[in-house]
Chain A
Amino acid sequence: MSPEIGHFALVLGLALALVQSIVPIWGSRRGDAALMGTAPPVALGQFFFVALAFATLTHAYLVSDFSVENVFQNSHSTKPLIYKISGVWGNHEGSMVLWVLILTLFSALVALFGRNLPLTLKANVLAVQGWITAAFLLFILKTSNPFARITPAPMEGRDLNPLLQDVGLAIHPPLLYLGYVGFSMSFAFAVAALIDGKLDAAWARWVRPWTLVAWIFLTAGISMGSYWAYYELGWGGWWFWDPVENASLMPWLAGTALLHSAIVMEKREALKVWTVLLAILTFSLSLLGTFLVRSGVLTSVHAFAVDPERGVFILAILVAFIGGSLALYAWRAPTLKQGGLFAPVSREGALVLNNLFLTASCAAVLVGTLYPLALETLTGAKISVGPPFFNWTFGPLMVPLMIAMVFGPFLAWKRGDLLAVAQRLTLAFAAAILATLVAYAVTTGGPVMAPLFVGLAAYVIVGALLDIAERIQLFRAPAATSLARARGLPRSAWGAAIAHAGVGVMLLGIVGETAYKQETIVQMRPGDSVQVAGYDITLQGLVPVQGPNYRDLVARLTVREGGVDAGTLAPAKRVYTARAMPTTEAALKTRGVSQLYVSPGDASTDGSIALRFFYKPMVLLIWIGTLVMMLGGVLSLSDRRLRVGAPKPSARRAAAMQPAE
């Protein structure tokens, strides 16, 4: 299969995207069903051609076709199969094709399964997606063509960056992009609603599943990226407040806010204008995230200025989409009918509070990420905004958010009773106090505040579970009744409680890792032993091992726990031959949810090696927490009500149905 087929398919994708940008919206303005009807087949055609291009590129990687420059730069004939495939998106050009592939996939899904969307809305949504697709395909073809060729073809490629040769990172970008691009659907719905001037509760229900899908994938992507950084970089940390990480955290925060404000809009027809703005902002942050990572701005503002073609194009896309949609918003939002006002102490009040804190924390991250860039551009001074800034801005915002998070689900719509809710949360408060005391008694050392955070985590988890217990009247009604109620409870309620509990689990892991980790660095010779957190670790020897495209120097360690053999650890210094690039392969030993972590330093000429040992209590809870959050999202997504677009009965009706509450 010639790479030229892929190139041409990409070009046809652009042509169809341009058709889709213009024709359906013209039809919707004129009320012409025939023109609006072109949107679905054209969207499917686009998906077909972009998928063909992606398949061609993948094929070129699989057969090591080094006449394609992109393959030459990022692949090597001896590379294992999985990294030949992941090499496709392990570089700028290929990752942009993957981005557009996912974008067209979402458009195709709307085209195929959007049968219960009104024709006009569907046509407008697909047209907006067409704009995004067209802009990105133009960007790819103009500045980042993955099908550029080399004559004559070199005999061997330059290999993928060794850091990226890892299973976790092979699937990390697709997940992250599914998240980023998923938010384009909420964006398209928001812009379509602004164009149409129609915005009702049904709109929120159409948007919510898409937002939820994007949110689940983004959560997975961020979580996996964090775990990758944890074990592949060998630094022993799991979150570095690196601009690349922040770039994905910002849309996540905004997306989480969007998810919650959409509930208010769906249930109470309120917060319409705000929800639309959030949808626009979330996707804008996704775009910003993609480009911060892809434009080269982050590596160096200077490098960016030297080769400005890509950067300027990117800037133009950002300005056009963010500026354009915000201008449209400013123009059309006043025409949208506003919902009524509501009391501050109520379910919707709590959700507004959630939105307030989430957007504020998102703004804090945005400032911390962009300020150094702006400063370097303006004055040339290079500063770095490190963890202290984020810990002192982001942290304090998260604490009240988590406290309020437990109250929210207990509050009634329209008007709630804070005192009554606090009474029902007695058990959660008790759990918090108990956990704090236990943490205080059991641990030695660590910051004074740490037990309080353990308490907060316990409060969040127990509070979330209490929500379910309360709803099914556990222990207050007969067991059979409770079971029946549990079955009858909407899955979105289960999803919310589980996702909230997941936050608590993650917090517990964070506190455990940050406050109670133990760290030792020792220079060891074969035969030497060291004690870490109750483990006796002995270095048996340093062994060279030859891999398919790398060489390892493996430190063989045996671990004994209380005199009993507890297995081995084999961290390694690895050198990838093609790029002569060294990497560090950390070794982990999992005990429950805690981990023993060894990261090797450089071997000295005298046969000794520096080894860095960490004992990280409860560290796995960080990622287990995100998995629990995702599970909550999936449950909520599977709620039939979301897909039918059926509204929740009004509060009055609900009260009549369930006098017990």
Chain B
Amino acid sequence: MEGSLTIWLAIAAMTAAAIFAVLLPLSRTTHAAAAEMDVAVYKDQLAEIGRDAEAGLIGAAEAEAARVEVSRRLIAASERIAATAGEGATRRRRMVAVGAILVIPAIAAVAYGLKGQPGYSGQPLAERQRAEPAATDMAGLIARIEAHLAANPGDGRGWEVVAPVYLRLGRVPDAVRARSNALRILGATADREADLAEAQTLAAGGVVTAEAKAGFERARALGPGHPKAGYFIGLAAEQDGKPDEARALWGKLVAEAPAGAPWVALLQAEIARLGGTPPPAAAAAAPAAPVIPPEIRTMVDGLAARLAADGSDFEGWMRLVRSYVVLGEAAKAREAAANARQRFAGEADKIGRLDGLVSELGIGGT
């Protein structure tokens, strides 16, 4: 609150200074006619030529020629003085003054209002690191791991550790590189294939590319019933315009899920999104508070980081809002929805869809 007061004071002071820059020259009491000012300029020039000629800075002949030319203009300006009397000057001055007082704040308000965020103070890194020591640890950790990996690029375990951290920081291409290194060095498992394909999907902005899909297929071949691979193959089907296939696949996953599997809730929500009836979870004893699987968490964080960097992907925002709701973080979902609304303020159809989603998920009332 204190910070926002300071910014409003600064904004007011700056606006006042801008208006002052216009009013100051208008308020001068003596107003010579334009031609009179010109006469003064030319007289000044004559004096300067005299000084320079005396100091020997320009030659006598040049000074003489300059004097002749300036004098000629001096006479012309003197003749103009009579022609332009200052009629209407007061009225014009008043118009400009009133115009400046009204127009400058108006332009500033409109232009700044479009994109300004006066309540959002600066976030210098040093201050944030003091406030969030965990983040500093993370930065330090990454630097250490990177140095280590630079020296030992054959350490597959290191690549595997750093990959999720990259994802959380939104460095998706680095995550792809790290996971493909881990896969290459440590050998293929269902988890590694699925993780790499997941990173590739994030790198493609949430689209399950042919390359990623092949990875998920390999993961499923290595470990049948692998939930992440199954989920994304379903997503790929949906993106190919085959929601039925996706629904069937996910339904099968849910039906075959081991008791208390944490990802069942997500799949059920996805099936519901596609308009299907999710089969009940295998065990009646579904956990009261769903434990959030780390890979889902990472995915959502990665998506959030990507949208923070480039918020032009509307579908991404929709997915983020939905994901937060699935994770049970209504506050974050509301925040994401608010960000998206701001971002796409001009596009009525998107705002409409967003509002629809918000009311559907029951997180309205922000």
Contact = CB atoms under 8 A, between A and B. Distances in A.
A41 B7 contact: no
Contacts of A476: none
Nearest to A117: B41
B355 to A, nearest CB: 21
B155 interface: no
A31 B58 contact: no
Contact of A4 (B24, B44, B117): B117
Interface stretch (A437-445, A556-564, A619-627, A648-656): A648-656
B130 interface: no
A44 interface: yes
B18 A12 contact: yes
Interface in A134-157: 141, 145, 147-156
Interface in B111-135: 111-112, 115-118, 120-126, 128, 135
A640 interface: yes
B96 A23 contact: yes
A55 interface: no
B135 A155 contact: yes
Interface in A150-188: 150-156
B35 interface: yes
A67 interface: yes
A117 B88 CA distance: 25
A644 interface: yes
Contacts of A4: 7, 116-118, 120-121
Interface in A4-28: 4-5, 7-9, 11-12, 14-16, 18-19, 23, 26-28
Given A65-B123, A649-B64, A12 B15 contact: yes
B126 to A, nearest CB: 7
Given A38-B26, A116-B41, A202 B69 contact: yes
A32 interface: yes
Contact of A65 (B104, B115, B122, B169): B122
Interface string B22-33: 101110100111
Contact of B18 (A16, A38, A65, A156): A16
B297 to A, nearest CB: 16
B340 to A, nearest CB: 12
B230 to A, nearest CB: 32
Given A5-B7, A32-B34, A546-B147, A648 B65 contact: yes
Query: What bracket does the count of chain A residues touching chain B fall in?
Result: 35 or more
Given A37-B25, A647-B69, A657 B104 contact: no
Nearest to A28: B34
A45 interface: yes
Contacts of A14: 107, 111
A118 B77 contact: yes
Contacts of A31: 33-35, 80, 84
A341 B80 CA distance: 31
A132 B24 CA distance: 24
A15 B107 contact: yes
Nearest to B308: A150
B21 A44 contact: yes
B63 interface: yes
B11 interface: yes
Contacts of B298: none
Given A18-B103, A45-B21, A154-B169, 19 more contacts: A14-B107, A28-B34, A32-B34, A32-B89, A33-B34, A34-B89, A34-B92, A38-B96, A41-B24, A41-B25, A42-B25, A115-B41, A117-B41, A119-B41, A577-B146, A580-B177, A648-B62, A648-B65, A657-B61
Given A33-B32, A37-B28, A155-B139, A646 B21 contact: no
Contacts of A33: 31-34, 36-37, 86
B84 A647 contact: no
A11 to B, nearest CB: 4
B22 A19 contact: yes
A2 interface: yes
Interface stretch (B45-53, B202-210, B231-239, B318-326): B45-53
B73 A2 contact: no
Contacts of A646: 49, 52, 58, 62-63, 65-66
A294 to B, nearest CB: 20
Contact of B48 (A41, A116, A551): A116
A189 B263 CA distance: 71
Contacts of B117: 4, 149
A65 B174 contact: no
A654 B21 CA distance: 48
A33 B37 CA distance: 8
Contacts of A52: 14
Interface string A314-342: 00000000000000000000000000000
13 contacts: A11-B112, A23-B96, A31-B34, A32-B92, A40-B25, A44-B21, A115-B41, A116-B45, A120-B38, A141-B111, A150-B309, A155-B138, A488-B59
A311 interface: no
A78 B140 CA distance: 11
B286 interface: no
B70 to A, nearest CB: 8
A645 interface: yes
A6 to B, nearest CB: 10
Contacts of A119: 34, 37-38, 41
Given A23-B96, A30-B92, A148 B124 contact: no
Contact of A649 (B41, B65, B84, B89): B65
A148 B58 CA distance: 54
B303 to A, nearest CB: 13
B111 A11 contact: yes
B150 interface: yes
Contact of A154 (B61, B63, B170): B170
B252 interface: no
B345 to A, nearest CB: 14
Contacts of A653: 61, 65
The 7 closest A-B pairs by CB, nearest first: A45-B21, A63-B124, A646-B66, A64-B125, A31-B84, A67-B123, A649-B61
B108 interface: yes
A641 interface: yes
Given A8-B108, A45-B18, A151 B65 contact: no
A1 interface: yes
Contact of A151 (B11, B45, B58, B120): B120
B93 interface: yes
B17 interface: yes
A265 interface: no
Contact of A580 (B49, B77, B174): B174
Nearest to A157: B125
B249 interface: no
Interface in B69-97: 69, 73, 77, 80, 84, 86, 88-89, 92-93, 96
B284 interface: no
A35 B92 contact: yes
Given A49-B14, A63-B125, A148-B115, A154 B24 contact: no
Contacts of A7: 112, 115-116
Contacts of B61: 649, 653-654, 657
B24 A77 contact: no
A197 to B, nearest CB: 13
A291 interface: no
A41 B22 CA distance: 7
A60 interface: yes
A117 B26 CA distance: 20
B330 interface: no
A36 interface: yes
A429 interface: no
Contacts of A117: 41
A577 B173 CA distance: 12
Nearest to B52: A644
Nearest to A20: B22
B55 to A, nearest CB: 9
Contacts of A36: 34
